[in-house]
Amino acid sequence: RVKDLIITAGGENIAPTSIEDKLKSVLPAVSNLLVVGDRQKFLGCLVTLHCSPDPADLDRFTTKLVPPSVGISETVSTSIEAAHSTEWLQYIQDGIDKYNNTLATSRAQRIQAFVIIPNDFSVGDGDLTPTQKLKRAKVTEKYKDVIGSTIYGRTSMRKNQSTPLDLHPMPHS
């Protein structure tokens, strides 16, 4: 959809849904992704994991991991723990590296940073439509502080660097 296009700082038109679908194909333990990068020098993404439904509101999720997100790390049982887990960060980085090296059709389509967010996108939180389509503008607005500070902050972009903001940088290729 035209309204979903990302236009990078370099003027490249990027279709994020295609990238998200390709990333999900190489990262089966990931539930949802939101590729961001409008007017930015590079693309990043928000990552959500498969979590159990909230028993009090089945249109929302808890942070407790469920299959296929269980098993990446034997010591991790929540999405919050996963955001700080070396095994999870490596799993996602390996998948993004595979996408960047074999599935990205241009340098502009490569993902260079990511962050795991605690809650999966849901209808109840207004992130998804009733037919499970991502409300890109709403989610981008909801997580604008995370996107601005964590993905596009002034923090150095070194591989495997950890910061208090949970920046998960990707190597520049």
CATH number at residue 65: 3.30.300.30
| Nearest-angstrom CA–CA distance, 118 and 146 | 12
pLDDT in tens, 89-124: 999 999 999 999 999 999 999 999 999 999 999 998
Q: What angle do CA 66, 67, 70 make, to 5 degrees?
A: 75
How many structural domains compose the chain? 1
Domain that holds residue 123: 2-169
| Single pTM value for the model | 0.84
pLDDT in tens, 50-78: 999 988 888 889 999 999 999 899 999 99
| Nearest-angstrom CA–CA distance, 119 and 41 | 27
| Nearest-angstrom CA–CA distance, 83 and 60 | 19
pLDDT value at position 165? 38
The answer to whether residues 149 and 73 touch, using CB atoms and an 8 Å cutoff, is no
pLDDT in tens, 17-33: 999 999 999 999 999 99
pLDDT in tens, 136-170: 999 999 999 999 988 998 443 334 333 333 444 44
